[in-house]
Amino acid sequence: MTPDFSDRLRGREADAYRARRIAQWDGVAAARVERRGPTRAYHRRLEHVYRFLVAPGLRVLELGCSDGDLLASIEPSVGVGVDFSPRMLARARSRHPHLQFVEADAHDLSAVSGAFDVIILSDLLHDIWDVQTLLGGLHPLCHRGTRVVMNFYSRLWEAPLTAARRMGLAEPLLKQNWLTMSDVRNLAHLTDFRVIRAWQEVLCPLPAPGLAPLGNKVLVRLPGLRHLALANFMIARPLAAPDPGLAAPRVSVIVAARNEAGNVPALFARTPEMGGGTELIFVEGHSSDDTYSVIDAAIAANPHRRARLLRQTGRGKGDAVRAGFAAATGEILMILDADLTVPPEDLPRFYDAMVTNKGEFINGVRLMYPMEERAMRFANLLGNKFFSLAFTWLLGQSIKDTLCGTKVLRRGAYQALAANRAYFGDFDPFGDFDLLFGAAKLSLEIVDLPIRYRERTYGTTNIQRWSHGWLLLKMCVFAAGRIKFV
């Protein structure tokens, strides 16, 4: 078979496939009054999940938008729906006149322009002729922070859904692509997307009071039951190569310092210059020694370094870090503990991981390499390992070390995180959980970066392991209700 003939044959097959589906969805639109029964319950649960994942006021594109109900429920600032069914689009325009709807095949998005914050593919991949072409065509509509959110049926539900359609309990569908999680993850890899998170939703698609909330909010999160869920969810981001024409970003290193006078000279001497320039922002927090005056003198003695000194008005490291971030002018924000247990010389590794797009929230990890003998007490080590496991389960991403003081993210991401802080509340005196919870809520890709943890050479730790450990545990329980069981 010659290549030209093969291409024409595939083209005719694709056209026939498309025509059958347009006719099918036109028929669904003509027959649909309102969703009812299991179909309505399933779609209401999807809307709930998407409202959790997508903040209001973003630019959102939905492919295969059907009647536009899901897109409207998210309350986008700009909402664009794409579908190839004229009758379904007519229904969508009448129901949601404030949204934009485009008649197009998802394989060819040339009629859509602009960059979107979120692209939704809800129950679409199983109905598509060529998933790889569809995913590859999304890149012109993405910016660096775009999130592609997909949900698709689990293959375990192939027989139950077929039976439900034969009984008239679900909308009729033509022959489907039954894709597994690994299938879609591989297709994302082939089309230069990186999967941030994948999980299951909707264990009970029936409108059953009591049973549905229990199944869909609690039981579906449990290891033995989650793989029985109807819907697989996945969030991915585009992998864009760094633009060599762009100027190197400037860096702000935030140092919260309380009773750390003896470490100040080394902080100036050992913190490297990075990117387009590095500023040191010291936030002094009610020290009982002369930390403030020592920092002030060091700034005067190092005129070649860009450095600022703030006096903290609130309490706790978290408050100090937020004050430093608010004053920062760099595009990349870094936290460095003043006790020097994380070597400042390791900061360029965090910078490189960020500018090469390896991750969007670079999290320092102290638990991979052997520590110096007195760097961490045994009880603290056990606590850190416990919170590592708890956060990996809570956030759906691998978190090896929650309490390492060195965390790095871009200023724009932090500003979005801060704007959304009220969702969890301002309850973290350390700032580590606040940042990790916020990053997970924004679906930032969290990447662990190992460092070698050192002994403190000056002063004593400000952490009270038992009282603070109890507080952190309570924060985890609270956050579980806000980010896991929703």
**pLDDT tens-place string over residues 170-203:** 666 777 788 999 999 999 999 999 999 999 999 9
Range(s) of the chain covered by CATH 3.40.50.150: 3-238
Model pLDDT, residue 7: 58
CATH assignment of 251-483, among 3.90.79.10, 3.90.550.10, 3.90.1150.10, 3.40.50.720 = 3.90.550.10
**pLDDT tens-place string over residues 108-157:** 999 999 999 999 999 999 999 999 999 999 999 999 999 999 999 998 88
- Pair 384, 468: CB distance under 8 Å: no
Contacts of 447 (CB under 8 A, 6+ apart): 353, 358, 359, 360, 361, 362, 363
* Cα–Cα distance for residue pair 205/42, rounded to 1 Å: 5
Predicted TM-score (pTM) of this structure: 0.89
Model pLDDT, residue 5: 46
Range(s) of the chain covered by CATH 3.90.550.10: 251-483
The CATH number given to 3-238 is 3.40.50.150
Give CA angle at 395 (180, 122), nearest 5°.
40
User: What are the backbone angles phi and psi of residue 131, rounded to the nearest 5°?
Assistant: -65, -35
Average pLDDT over residues 298-315: 96
